[in-house]
Amino acid sequence: MTQFTDLGLAKPLLKALADEGYETPTPIQAKAIPGVLAGRDLLGIAQTGTGKTAAFALPILHRLAEDRRAAPRRGCRVLVLSPTRELATQIGESFKTYGRHLGLSVAVIFGGVKYGGQMRTMAPGVDVLVATPGRLIDHLQEKTVTLEGVETFVLDEADQMLDMGFIVPIRRIVKHLAHKRQNLFFSATMPSEIGKLAGELLKDPLQVSVTPQATTVERIRQQVLFVEQQRKRALLAELFAEKDFKRVIVFTRTKRGADRVAKSLEQGGVEAAAIHGDKSQGQRERALAAFKAGQIRALVATDIAARGIDIDAVSHVVQYELPNVPEAYVHRIGRTARAGAEGSAIAFCADDERN
Ligand code: AMP
């Protein structure tokens, strides 16, 4: 089996991995890291939970450290685009964790917060910038960020970008990038529009695909419960009577639905919080922190709010309503059974959802 020491990574990176207790590379890491270190473009077909963040962060950090130079003012050497602020934050944390012995700078910018701090952070230039597309475009228009010096461009969760309407913004951002650069492209699924975008961006890419079927999904026990719409609340309350229903994400289709389900759980004595697009950044962060700390048992979320959330030890995922597309189902159940753990996914299906 491949070891991290076989991959040619710099000592300070191996040290950080040892600090984290990582022993062996995941399949996507073993396959992607050597090629990315050699400067190749990459098409990674992988969902979160496969270790894809380290698969790009480690070789990128290695290359930055081997060839140290100052980023341009207001610019960056590496740009990572992420669809949500939660995922952007997690990616930024990963770069900081793996790069902690290298002394490189990492910045994260996303919408919903003031511009001033982001402008001050970007003013001297940073090694790695992780950004959501909307806010990055604002900074580009204001010329408070420049992308001229980008040597490596990472597009993460491209299929989610498509769902969230970010394809046009991404094309606009790409126009700001230098022609000569390395491109790393990740997507869990490959709808045709994403295939097309990958074709435009990537030059002779190394292709690595880790099927969730063989990794995360195999460890998830999947069940469907046929239930009348009016009985769903009571059924959910019954499920929470089980002691092993410890840390549960409940998916609803709408924001109001999320609020209603969270409220009905609370009324039944189950600590719960809802996260969705109408909640402030502060509310979302507090809910996530309370859920991570085990202070609340149920996090009720819409698909968009839950994207990319990486919380260990989620025992169950309940789909209060079925999603409209299969990809959303796969993404939802992928919130459990992370980092090698087991998990259980339960889908409620009412009569009008059977088709
Ligand atoms: P990701 O797919 O990047 O969201 O990573 C999923 C989780 O796996 C994260 O919590 C990582 O910290 C963890 N992880 C990534 N690579 C490894 C590894 N080689 N060994 C152990 N845990 C890992």
Ligand 1 site-directed mutation target among 154, 310, 312, most atoms within 8 Å of CB: 310
Ligand 1 site-directed mutation target among 6, 13, 52, 53, most atoms within 8 Å of CB: 53
- DSSP string across 275-296: E-TTS-HHHHHHHHHHHHTTS-
Rounded distance between C-alpha atoms, residue 336 and residue 344, angstroms: 7
Rounded distance between C-alpha atoms, residue 23 and residue 3, angstroms: 8
Gap from CA of 15 to ligand 1 centroid (Å): 16
Name the residue with the closest Cα to ligand 1, atom 1. Answer: 51
Ligand 1 site-directed mutation target among 14, 24, 26, most atoms within 8 Å of CB: 26
Gap from CA of 179 to ligand 1 centroid (Å): 31
CA distances (Å), 210 to each of 81, 216, 301, in order?
A: 21, 10, 27
DSSP code of residue 72:
P
Predicted local confidence at residue 211, as pLDDT: 66
Gap from CA of 29 to ligand 1 centroid (Å): 10
Name the residue with the closest Cα to ligand 1, atom 11. Answer: 51
CA distances (Å), 10 to each of 35, 42, 56, in order?
A: 15, 21, 14
Q: Which residues line ligand 1 (CB under 6 A)?
A: 22, 25-26, 29, 48-54, 310, 338-339
- Residue 48 alpha carbon, nearest atom of ligand 1: 2
Gap from CA of 355 to ligand 1 centroid (Å): 36
Please give the sequence-ordered ranges of beta strands (E in DSSP) within 252-350, or none if there are none.
Answer: 272-275, 298-301, 316-319, 343-349
Predicted local confidence at residue 7, as pLDDT: 94
Asked whether the beta carbons of 192 and 183 are under 8 A apart, the reply is no
Rounded distance between C-alpha atoms, residue 38 and residue 282, angstroms: 41
Rounded distance between C-alpha atoms, residue 93 and residue 18, angstroms: 17
Rounded distance between C-alpha atoms, residue 215 and residue 225, angstroms: 24
Gap from CA of 49 to ligand 1 centroid (Å): 6
CA distances (Å), 15 to each of 18, 21, 22, 99, 346, in order?
A: 5, 10, 10, 10, 40
DSSP code of residue 5:
G
Angle (deg, nearest 10), helices 11-20 and 52-66: 150
Please list the residues that pair with 300 across neighbouring strands.
Answer: 250, 274
Gap from CA of 25 to ligand 1 centroid (Å): 9
Task: Identify which of 251, 217, 237 has the alpha carbon closest to the alpha carbon of residue 324.
Answer: 251
Name the residue with the closest Cα to ligand 1, atom 22. Answer: 22
Q: Which residues of 63-100 are buried (b: 16+ CB within 10 A; e: fewer)?
A: bbbeeeeebeebbbbbbbbbbbbbbbbbbbebbbbbbb
What pLDDT tens digit does each residue of the chain (355 aa) get?
889 999 999 999 999 999 999 989 999 999 999 999 999 999 999 988 889 999 999 999 999 999 999 999 999 999 999 999 999 999 999 999 999 999 999 999 999 999 999 999 999 999 999 999 999 999 999 999 999 999 999 999 999 999 899 999 999 999 999 999 999 999 998 999 999 999 999 999 999 998 654 345 667 889 999 999 999 999 999 999 988 898 999 999 999 999 999 999 999 999 999 998 888 888 888 998 999 899 999 999 998 777 767 777 788 999 999 988 887 888 888 888 766 667 889 999 999 998 8
Gap from CA of 35 to ligand 1 centroid (Å): 19
Rounded distance between C-alpha atoms, residue 140 and residue 92, angstroms: 20
Gap from CA of 116 to ligand 1 centroid (Å): 33
- Residue 90 alpha carbon, nearest atom of ligand 1: 4
Rounded distance between C-alpha atoms, residue 42 and residue 199, angstroms: 11
* Residue 274, both tokens: 């809802």
Gap from CA of 250 to ligand 1 centroid (Å): 23
- Angle of CA points 108, 114, 118, to nearest 5°: 35
Rounded distance between C-alpha atoms, residue 89 and residue 94, angstroms: 9
- DSSP string across 6-45: GGT--HHHHHHHHHHT--S--HHHHHHHHHHHTT--EEEE
Gap from CA of 53 to ligand 1 centroid (Å): 7
- Residue 53 alpha carbon, nearest atom of ligand 1: 3
